[in-house]
Structure 1
Amino acid sequence: MSRGGGGQLSLGQSWAIGVGGMIGGGIFSTLGVVIAVAGQWAWASFLIGGLIAMATGHCMSSLTVAGDKAGGIYRFLRDAGFARVAKLSAWVLILGYTLTCAVYAATFGSYLANALGGPHWLPGAMAAAAIILLALVNLRGAGEAAGLELAIVVGKLVILVGLAAMGLARFDAASLAVADPPGWFGAVVGAASVFMAYEGFELLAYDYDEMADRKRQIRRVMPLTIGTAIAVYIAVALAVPMLTGTAAIVADGEVALAKAGQAALGEPGLLVVTLAAALSTGSAINATLFSTARLAREVAVEDELPQAFARQNRAGAPYFGVMVIAAAALALAVIGGLAALVTGASVVFLLVFGTVNLLSWRKSRAHPAIAAFGTIGAFAATLLLLAHLAGFA
C-alpha cells in the first residue's frame, strides 16, 4: 500500500547516503587493482563502470517510483511475480552488504594502523570500534544517521578533491604509462574488476519511504550521487599517478592514496589522506548499516525474514537489524581474509544490477535505450569478470 511522502530525508541527506555508500573503501583499496589491469586506461574503467551504474540508477528509480514502495530488487522481483527469487535476492543482498560493511571496516583499520603504527591487533580493534560507534548512531534514528552522513561526505570529498587538484596540477600523460601496457581492452576488464566501487547508490531504493517528496527526490538523487562518484573516481585515477607513479600505486595496494598524500605533502599529507580514508570508510559503514537494516525491515514486514527484523525502537530505527548486521560485520572484519570474497562481490552486484535493468526494460518503466545499455553492459561485464578470474581475459 502506498504511503505518504512526508519522510525525514532531504535531498542533501539522501545524496550523502548514496555517495557515502559508493565512495567508501572503493577508491582507497581498488585504485591499484584497476591500474594493474587497465594501465593508463584506468580512468576509462571508472567511466565505463559509471555509465553502467548511471543506466542502472535510471532504471531503479523508474521501477521504484512506478511501484511507490521501498525494497529495491526484492520489491521489483516480488511485484513481477518471482516471489521465491525475491526472497533469495533479499538474503543474498543482506549477506553481501554485511560483507561489504566488514570490508569497509577492515580498510578503515588498515589506514589508521598504517598512519599510527602500533601492535598487530590495532587494525582489527579500529575496525570493531568503527562498526560499534556507527551502529549506535544508527540506533538513534534516520535524522541522526543521515545528518552525520552529510557531514562526513562533505569532509572526505574536500580532501579527495584537494588531493586530485594537487596531482592534476602536475599532469603529464607520460606518468600514466605502465611497464606492460594492456591496450584499451584493459579498460573494459578493469571496469568489471572494480565494479564494486559503484555499489552503494542502490541503497537509496531501500530508503525511499524515508525521503521527503520521495517520487521527485529519488529521480533527482540517483544521477546526482552516481555523477559525483564518476567525477571523483576519474579525477583521482588521473591525479594520483602524478604524485607517486603507477608502479608505486600497484605496489602499495590499499594504502596507495595515503602514500600519494605523503609524496605530495610529507607527513601532513599522509595524515590528511588517512583522515579522508577514515571518513570515507566510516560513511560507507554508516550508509550500509542504515539502508540494509531498512531493507531487512521491509522484507520482514512481508514475512520473508524473521519478524524480529521488523522491530523498531522509539526513534523509528530497525534496531534488531542494525545490531545483527553490525555484529556479523564486526566478526568478519576482525577475522579478515576477505580479498577473494570482495572480488566475488563485484560479480554479485553486476548480476543484481543487470537484473534490475532487464526488469525495467521488459516492463517499459525506463527509457528503452538506457535500459538496454544497462542490461547488456552489466551482464557483459559479469561474463568478462568471470573470464578474467578464470584467466581467459
Structure 2
Amino acid sequence: MSNSSKGGNLGFASVWSLTVGGMVGGGIYTALGVVVAVAMQWSWLSFAIAGVIAITSAYSYVKLANKFEESGGAFEYLRDINLNGVAGSLSWLLVIGYVLTIALYAFAFGHYVTFAFNAGPWLTRVLAIGIVALMIFLNLMGAGKLAIVEIIIVWANLIALLILAIYGLTQWDSLQLMAGAEPKSAWSAPIGAAAIFVSYEGFQLLTYEYDEIKDPKKKLFPAVISGVAFVILIYIIVALGAVILAGALTTIDEKQVALAVAAKEGLGKPGFIMIIIAAGLATSAAINSTLFSTAKLTARVAEDGEMPSFFDHKNSNDVPDRSVIVIGILAALLAILGSLSTLVEAASLIFLFTFLSVNYIAVKKLNKNRWIPITGMIVGGIVLIILTARLAIINPLSLALLAGLGAIIIFGRPAILAKINNSKNNEKK
C-alpha cells in the first residue's frame, strides 16, 4: 500500500485530460460504423447505455484505487481480497484485451491515413505496422509517457470532434439517421451497446498510474468521473451529428473511416483534413499510452509470479522491454489480419467482463453507495449476455477463440507457470 498521500506530478487537469484521451483516443473513430450497423437511429442510445456501465465501473475503479492506495487496477484489487489466482487469470485476459485495442487503433490509423491519400490496402498494412513499430521504439527509448504531448493531442482531438458533432446537429434531419438502410427498433440499442466497450476502456489506464497522480485521494475521483461523463456526452452527440452529415448507409459502408467521410460531406476539404489529422494524432497517442501502460501491467504481474518472469525484464531506461516488444508485435499482426468488427467486439467482450469483475469487488469491499456498482453489474450482465449471443450467431469463430483462450488462461495458466518455473529451477541446478 502506498504511504504517500501526495503522489506524483499529475494534477487534476492532467488526470482529466488523460482520462478523456484514453477513451476518445481511438474508439469513436472505429466503433461508430459498427454501432450504426446494429442500432441505426438508436446508436446514440447505445453509447448512452454503454456509458452507464462505464461510469459505474469508473466509480468502482477510483473508489477501490483510493481504498487500496496502489497502482495495478483490477489485478491489485483481486489480490487484496486474496483472490491471487483469479487476479492472475484476469490480468492475462486484460493484456489480450489491450493487445486487441492497440491493434484496433493501428487499424484505424492505417485506414484514415490511407483514405486521405486514396491509396491501396497495401499502404494501410504498412502504416499499421509502421505506427506500432514507431511506438515500440519510443517506449524502449523511455519516451512512452509524454503527458504534456498527450494532453495537447487530447484537446486538439476534442475540438475537432466537437466541431464535427455540433455542426452536424445544426443540420438536424432525423431521416439521415436511417438514410438508405432499414430502421431499427429501440431494442437494438443494447445490442449496439454491447459492441463498443473498447471505446470506453481508457479510464482504466489511470489506475495503473496511481502513484503518478498528485494527491490522488482528492483529485482522482472528480477528474475521472467528470472525464467519463464528458466522454459519454461527446459520443452521444458525435453519434448523432456525424451520422446526420454522412447518412446511415454511408456510415456503415465506410465504417473504417466514417468520421472522415462525415467531415468531408459536411465541412468540405478543411473539415476532412481536420478529422484526418485528429484521427492520426489520436490513434497514435492511444497506441503509445496503451502500449506503455500494458507493458507496465505485464511486468507488474510477472513480478508477482502470475506471468513468466521473461516479461519482468527491464532495459537500461527502466522500461519492460520484452513486454513492449511482444505486445507490440502481436498487436501489429492482429491489425493487418483482423477485421474491424471482430477487433471491436472481441475487445469489448474482454473489457465488459473486466468491468463486471471490478464492480463485483466494489460491492464486496465498499461501505457506501453499493447501488452504483450493483447497477453496473446488472446492466453489464444483460449486455454481456447480448454480446455473447451476438458473437455466437454472427461470428462464432471469434467467440470460440476467445472461449478457448479463456479456458487456457483459467485452467492452463497455473500448469504453464509451474512448468516454466521448474525448467528454471533445473537450469540453476
Relative to the length of structure 2, the TM-score reads 0.85
Which residue of structure 2 lines up, in the alignment, with residue 56 of structure 1?
57
Q: Distance in 2 between matches of 1:3 and 1:111?
A: 45
Which residue of structure 1 lines up, in the alignment, with residue 125 of structure 2?
124
- Verify the 8 A CA contact 1:109 1:123 in the aligned structure 2: yes
Which residue of structure 1 lines up, in the alignment, with residue 168 of structure 2?
167
**Correspondence for 1:333 among 325, 332, 335:** 335
- 1:176-211 Cα offsets, whole Å, 9 max, x none, are 235432221111211112222112111111111221
- Verify the 8 A CA contact 2:145 2:292 in the aligned structure 1: no
- Verify the 8 A CA contact 1:9 1:142 in the aligned structure 2: no
Q: Distance in 2 between matches of 1:366 and 1:176?
A: 41
Which residue of structure 2 lines up, in the alignment, with residue 2 of structure 1?
2
- 1:81-113 Cα offsets, whole Å, 9 max, x none, are 211111111111112211210111011001101
Offset, 1:258 = 0.9
Which residue of structure 2 lines up, in the alignment, with residue 181 of structure 1?
183
Offset, 1:58 = 0.4
Offset, 1:65 = 1.1
Which residue of structure 2 lines up, in the alignment, with residue 258 of structure 1?
260
Moved more, 117-126 or 373-382: 117-126
Matched to 1:63, the amino acid is L
Which residue of structure 2 lines up, in the alignment, with residue 286 of structure 1?
288
- Verify the 8 A CA contact 2:145 2:289 in the aligned structure 1: no
Offset, 1:308 = 4.5
Which residue of structure 2 lines up, in the alignment, with residue 78 of structure 1?
79
Q: Distance in 1 between matches of 2:245 and 2:54?
A: 29
Q: Distance in 2 between matches of 1:291 and 1:228?
A: 23
Which residue of structure 2 lines up, in the alignment, with residue 232 of structure 1?
234
Q: Distance in 1 between matches of 2:301 and 2:3?
A: 16
CA RMSD of aligned residues (A): 2.2
Distance change in 2, residues 1:268/1:284 (3 Å): same
Which residue of structure 2 lines up, in the alignment, with residue 384 of structure 1?
386
- Verify the 8 A CA contact 1:56 1:371 in the aligned structure 2: yes
Offset, 1:233 = 0.6
Distance change in 2, residues 1:182/1:373 (3 Å): same
Moved more, 355-364 or 301-310: 301-310
Q: Distance in 2 between matches of 1:142 and 1:68?
A: 26
Matched to 1:2, the amino acid is S
**Rg larger in structure:** 2
Moved more, 66-75 or 144-153: 144-153
- Verify the 8 A CA contact 1:66 1:365 in the aligned structure 2: no
Which residue of structure 1 lines up, in the alignment, with residue 146 of structure 2?
145
Offset, 1:121 = 2.1
Which residue of structure 1 lines up, in the alignment, with residue 20 of structure 2?
19
Which residue of structure 2 lines up, in the alignment, with residue 303 of structure 1?
305
Which residue of structure 1 lines up, in the alignment, with residue 274 of structure 2?
272
Offset, 1:391 = 4.3
Q: Distance in 2 between matches of 1:216 and 1:139?
A: 33
Task: Structure 1 unaligned segments of length 5 or more: list them.
Answer: none
Offset, 1:281 = 1.1
Matched to 1:266, the amino acid is G
Offset, 1:278 = 0.8
- 1:251-271 Cα offsets, whole Å, 9 max, x none, are 211211111111123333222
Offset, 1:366 = 5.1
Q: Distance in 1 between matches of 2:336 and 2:141?
A: 25
Matched to 2:133, the amino acid is I
Which residue of structure 2 lines up, in the alignment, with residue 29 of structure 1?
30
Matched to 1:292, the amino acid is T
- Verify the 8 A CA contact 1:297 1:310 in the aligned structure 2: yes
1:158 paired to 2:159 = yes
* Partner secondary structure for residue 9 of structure 1: coil
* Partner secondary structure for residue 212 of structure 1: coil
Q: Distance in 1 between matches of 2:366 and 2:278?
A: 41
Offset, 1:137 = 3.4
Which residue of structure 2 lines up, in the alignment, with residue 346 of structure 1?
348
Offset, 1:20 = 2.5
- Verify the 8 A CA contact 2:31 2:344 in the aligned structure 1: no
Aligned residues: 392
Q: Distance in 1 between matches of 2:215 and 2:66?
A: 11
- Verify the 8 A CA contact 2:34 2:341 in the aligned structure 1: no
Identity %: 39
Relative to the length of structure 1, the TM-score reads 0.92
- 1:281-309 Cα offsets, whole Å, 9 max, x none, are 11211221121122123212222223353
Offset, 1:338 = 6.0
Which residue of structure 2 lines up, in the alignment, with residue 69 of structure 1?
70
Q: Distance in 2 between matches of 1:130 and 1:366?
A: 44
Distance change in 2, residues 1:270/1:192 (3 Å): same
- 1:95-146 Cα offsets, whole Å, 9 max, x none, are 2211210111011001101111334321122112222222333345478522
Distance change in 2, residues 1:133/1:356 (3 Å): same
Q: Distance in 2 between matches of 1:73 and 1:211?
A: 18
Q: Distance in 1 between matches of 2:297 and 2:140?
A: 15
Offset, 1:381 = 0.7
1:322 paired to 2:331 = no
1:356 paired to 2:358 = yes
Which residue of structure 1 lines up, in the alignment, with residue 247 of structure 2?
245
Distance change in 2, residues 1:117/1:172 (3 Å): closer
